[in-house]
Structure 1
Amino acid sequence: MAHSPSRVFAAVSPSAGDVYRDENQSVFNRGRKQTHLSAQSNVRVIEVTGCAEVSSPPDRACVSISVKNSKENVNDVTNSVTRRLEYILQTARQHDVKEENITVTKHLQRDEDLFHMQAEVLVVFLDFEKMQQARTVLIEKLDKSVCVGDPYYSHSAESLSLLRRRVCLEAVDNARLKASEACCILGQALGRPLLVREEESREWSSSQQDTSGSPLTLHPRTDPTLISASSRMFVTFELRPKDNNRRKF
Structure 2
Amino acid sequence: MELKNKVAIVTGASKGIGLELCRQLLAAGMKVAGWSRSEPDLKQDNFFWQQCDVGNMESVQQAFSASLEHFGADIAVLANNAGLGYEGKLDEMDPAQWHTMIDVNVNGIFYCTRLVLPLMKERGEGHIINLSSIAGTTGIAGMSGYVASKHAVRGISHSLYKEVRNEGIKVTCIYPGSTNTHFFDEIGSVTAHEHMMRPQDVADTILHCIKTHKNFHIVDVEMRPLKPKG
Q: TM-score, normalised by structure 1?
A: 0.23
| Structure number with higher strand proportion | 1
| Structure number with higher helix proportion | 2
Q: Which has the higher contact order (CA 8 A, sep 6+)?
A: 1
Larger radius of gyration: 1
Q: TM-score, normalised by structure 2?
A: 0.25
